[in-house]
Structure 1
């Protein structure tokens, strides 16, 4: 099955236009020792029928999260997605990852991006949101670099309670930059405030925290905010957007930049992507914020319309002076998040967050009461995730494998601990069955 669209006539026309007699002449500047003189060692091509059968066989070996009882978390969660999200976001006129440049021909998409920005700003309490980033981790990085540019400082303090994947992406981005990355330890699963006070100084551009953190625990955000602001730095907070249905908005405790992984807002787990990077900030930082911004204006006839605005911030205009080289974004994922938030509204989001809180605490209490599993941080408040320790320091991975055979994705194992997440989808029967299976396994 060939996927090359160029006919022999097309090839002749292109070669004639550029003045080359043959394909070989076109590439004659490449040294011979660098050219592959034999065919690629690949199997024979397949027909469409054969290829379809092969792909069907490969996909049959995977087990969708929705077909099992899923307690996986760590940044990607099995939340319920209303049918209207797929129905509306699946409109062919929306299906692109890009923010449209030609505003007069893209009013529908631009209006939805504008509504997305408005909803995110209201959700976080920030003044502005951009039209999305690649994912939560890149949004974290962009926020940290934003803080360095705004403060003209070069030290970033990261709490060890942020997600490992966020910390790794940040470390990768900063590897070849003149930026110091300092790590602050934890106490009972949350920020060690005494250590943070020692780390934050006049060189600190920002403190980056996750709230709720990587183990689901709620941080002392007011105290952390005071520590960093007293030193003249900025507070960058990575939130679970669902948690904002019941937790304090970041603006109320002094957050300057808010980032998030938008997957919980109507995006399927889908093998880890595509996901959605959320980034919002205070007005004073707007011109430092990377990414596309959609604004509302009026056309020459006085009609309401939408355009890409403040583009002088961006790399296609400022070039090497731009804050970031981020250009493309996750437009379709932002549309999904916008539809999800609009469908739920404040009351619906509050209900989803409340169910996550209630069900996770019910499960944690039942596991502690009826199995040998124990909370790693029993004194620390949590939202919808909690960390368990296996009895006798047994490894958690075999336990996870055993429950997977029974149709339960038990959580994320790490040595002798297990991270368990509970969303609004989990029923009382599923939670009770999980407790019974945990008790049965840990008794052996």
Structure 2
């Protein structure tokens, strides 16, 4: 063996080739046309020894801007939040670390109970009847919700209306999902910092399967869900809300506004930023839509002796039921990250989640007022949760470079995504930022912009 971490010896390889009737490894690729095969050796450096490799990787990792060293004001879907230390201790236990619901799931009662608790807490946060075992991330959960709305109409309605206040990456995922079955996706612009309700009402028709709103929206603004819900249900369409679960610690839950489906990403609750992923999507809905919901559902029951137990109550993907009856074919749950969120929510409790959310709200408003007094232009005045937009008067990317020179991670350059938002920066403040860090960032932003 050349490398101790590759278990197959040369003898093992020859035995396998002999078993399948091949003489050499290249025979496995004979169906690939020779003209498109790489004939020369790969231009790769020589394999390094383990000590040398560790040293090189450590040097590369030190180039990362760590939020423990650099105060971060960057959000846009991935946030620096407090994570109780117990989260890491629990998810590193061997019973959970390679978590995947087994194909005889009732054997794994601990894993099923963890998923059941996750479902319960998501239902409470969103005030919806039921939640599934989790999904890949918030963006795919949003797209799956749109497909579910169309399926609920028995494909009679194929139009999806979505606010421009939804995360741009989620919009891209939705477009990709919609292209397959040929759905029509209509985007409604913002009026100020909120969804333009007049345009939305004009776009609503009998072909509209659902309306999708983000709450708070991508720009941090709290949308007015009640008015939107009324016009959506007047057209007998489904009302889908994408929501930051931490914000629901202080905002009225979408379920109380009559939402039919609530989806989002639980990254703010117990999941590190970890370079952008992986995350954990959640999916909650009303009881009447339960059987159309993608993914899996863990239920509580009792055994023949009356002891509490857990079972997979609903499995709607193609691995478990006939393919033509499946609600989705990519809805594996994020069991380990869902567990992290469950442990975080349990450790914080209702009061802790509310306190975290209040800190986000108060510190964000403090930062806004500090910037205004420094002469920095705040673009919108509507109520926000933990993000808001400023006008940098110049290239926001250049302003971020100046901030980084002062040891500060700046905000999200909206001009990199929106053609009409050059010089706009989305700033984020979480409970992790101290008053001193916020004051220093306000002063640095004033200097960087001038």
Aligned partner of 1:294 among 276, 292, 298: 298
Report deviation, 1:440.
2.8
Q: In structure 2, what is the Cα distance between the partners aligned to 1:124 and 1:272?
A: 24
- 1:231-250 to 2 correspondence within 5 Å? 231-250=235-254
Aligned to 2:419: none
Q: In structure 2, what is the Cα distance between the partners aligned to 1:21 and 1:395?
A: 60
Aligned to 2:165: 161
Aligned partner of 1:432 among 423, 435, 439: 439
Q: Summarize deviations over 1:308-357 as a string: whole Å, max 9, x none.
A: 2222x221112133121124221100000000111111111111111111
Give the aligned length.
Answer: 438
Q: In structure 1, what is the Cα distance between the partners aligned to 2:294 and 2:391?
A: 41
Q: Summarize deviations over 1:401-437 as a string: whole Å, max 9, x none.
A: 1111211112112221111111111111111112222
- The alignment status of 1:407 with 2:410, answered yes or no, reads no
Tell me if structure 2 keeps the 8 A contact 1:128–1:282.
yes
Q: In structure 1, what is the Cα distance between the partners aligned to 2:41 and 2:259?
A: 58
Q: Summarize deviations over 1:120-145 as a string: whole Å, max 9, x none.
A: 01111111111111111001000111
Moved more, 80-89 or 94-103: 94-103
Q: Summarize deviations over 1:176-200 as a string: whole Å, max 9, x none.
A: 3221100111111101111010011
Tell me if structure 2 keeps the 8 A contact 1:100–1:109.
no
Aligned to 1:372: 375
- Against the structure 1 CA distance between its residues 234 and 59, is the aligned structure 2 distance closer, same or farther, given a 3 Å change threshold? same
Structure-2-length-normalised TM-score: 0.93
Report deviation, 1:254.
0.7
Aligned partner of 2:267 among 263, 269, 277: 263
Moved more, 154-163 or 43-52: 43-52
Tell me if structure 1 keeps the 8 A contact 2:101–2:108.
no
Tell me if structure 1 keeps the 8 A contact 2:132–2:296.
yes
- Against the structure 1 CA distance between its residues 215 and 31, is the aligned structure 2 distance closer, same or farther, given a 3 Å change threshold? closer
Aligned partner of 1:133 among 135, 149, 155: 135
- 1:116-195 to 2 correspondence within 5 Å? 116-152=118-154, 153-195=157-199
- Against the structure 1 CA distance between its residues 27 and 407, is the aligned structure 2 distance closer, same or farther, given a 3 Å change threshold? closer
Q: In structure 2, what is the Cα distance between the partners aligned to 1:412 and 1:35?
A: 42
Structure-1-length-normalised TM-score: 0.95
- The alignment status of 1:318 with 2:322, answered yes or no, reads yes
Structure 2 residue matching 1:408: 3-state secondary structure? coil
Moved more, 331-340 or 176-185: 176-185
Structure 2 residue matching 1:323: 3-state secondary structure? coil
Q: In structure 2, what is the Cα distance between the partners aligned to 1:210 and 1:29?
A: 48
Q: In structure 1, what is the Cα distance between the partners aligned to 2:118 and 2:142?
A: 19
Q: In structure 1, what is the Cα distance between the partners aligned to 2:370 and 2:240?
A: 35
Q: In structure 1, what is the Cα distance between the partners aligned to 2:65 and 2:211?
A: 39
Structure 2 residue matching 1:94: 3-state secondary structure? helix
Structure 1 residue matching 2:228: 3-state secondary structure? helix
Structure 1 residue matching 2:213: 3-state secondary structure? strand
Q: In structure 2, what is the Cα distance between the partners aligned to 1:37 and 1:399?
A: 47
- 1:393-404 to 2 correspondence within 5 Å? 393-404=393-404
Moved more, 267-276 or 34-43: 34-43
Aligned to 1:55: 57
Where structure 1 has 5 or more consecutive residues not aligned to the other structure, the ranges are none
Q: In structure 2, what is the Cα distance between the partners aligned to 1:13 and 1:367?
A: 70
Q: In structure 2, what is the Cα distance between the partners aligned to 1:131 and 1:399?
A: 42
Q: In structure 2, what is the Cα distance between the partners aligned to 1:224 and 1:88?
A: 41
Aligned to 1:387: 389
Report deviation, 1:26.
5.0
Tell me if structure 2 keeps the 8 A contact 1:97–1:329.
no
- The alignment status of 1:274 with 2:278, answered yes or no, reads yes
Where structure 2 has 5 or more consecutive residues not aligned to the other structure, the ranges are 415-421
Aligned to 1:68: 70
Report deviation, 1:220.
1.1
Q: In structure 2, what is the Cα distance between the partners aligned to 1:431 and 1:147?
A: 43
Report deviation, 1:372.
2.3
Aligned to 1:306: 310
**Over the residues paired in the alignment, what is the CA RMSD in angstroms?**
1.7
Aligned to 1:95: 97
Structure 1 residue matching 2:322: 3-state secondary structure? helix
Q: In structure 2, what is the Cα distance between the partners aligned to 1:28 and 1:338?
A: 49
Structure 2 residue matching 1:420: 3-state secondary structure? strand
Q: In structure 1, what is the Cα distance between the partners aligned to 2:344 and 2:433?
A: 19
Structure 2 residue matching 1:360: 3-state secondary structure? helix
Report deviation, 1:48.
1.0
Structure 2 residue matching 1:67: 3-state secondary structure? coil
Q: In structure 2, what is the Cα distance between the partners aligned to 1:124 and 1:7?
A: 53
